[in-house]
Amino acid sequence: MKKAKIYIPNKSPMQSGRGKTDKWVLEYETNDPTNNPLMGWESSNDTYAELRLEFSTKELAINYAKKKKINFELIEPRKRKTIKKSYADNFLK
């Protein structure tokens, strides 16, 4: 059976906020990527690589993968580090 990964995608570089980063994604891994010699693009004969499923919670994504007997890897999101600084710190150095 195919292997998939379940994760929360990173925010787009065009985003300033953290909106639309609360969805969990189940995405299949491509087994045989090949380079197209004419255009130089990466291509594959695997149609599962085009499939991307979104879920509102991690548990729904895991339950779906177990129900469909999909081998999956769960990638937990990292905690965001915030440094509290005072406005006055800009002028102290």
Q: How far is it, in rounded angstroms, from Cα 1 to Cα 70?
A: 6
Tokens found for residue 41 = 């693009």
pLDDT 10s digit of each residue in the chain, 93 long?
678 999 998 887 787 777 767 899 999 987 777 887 888 787 777 788 788 999 999 999 999 999 999 999 999 988 878 888 888 888 886
Q: Is the pTM of this model over 0.85?
A: no
pLDDT at 34: 80
Domains (range + CATH), the chain: 3-9+23-30+42-92 (3.30.160)
Q: Dmax of the chain from CA atoms?
A: 59
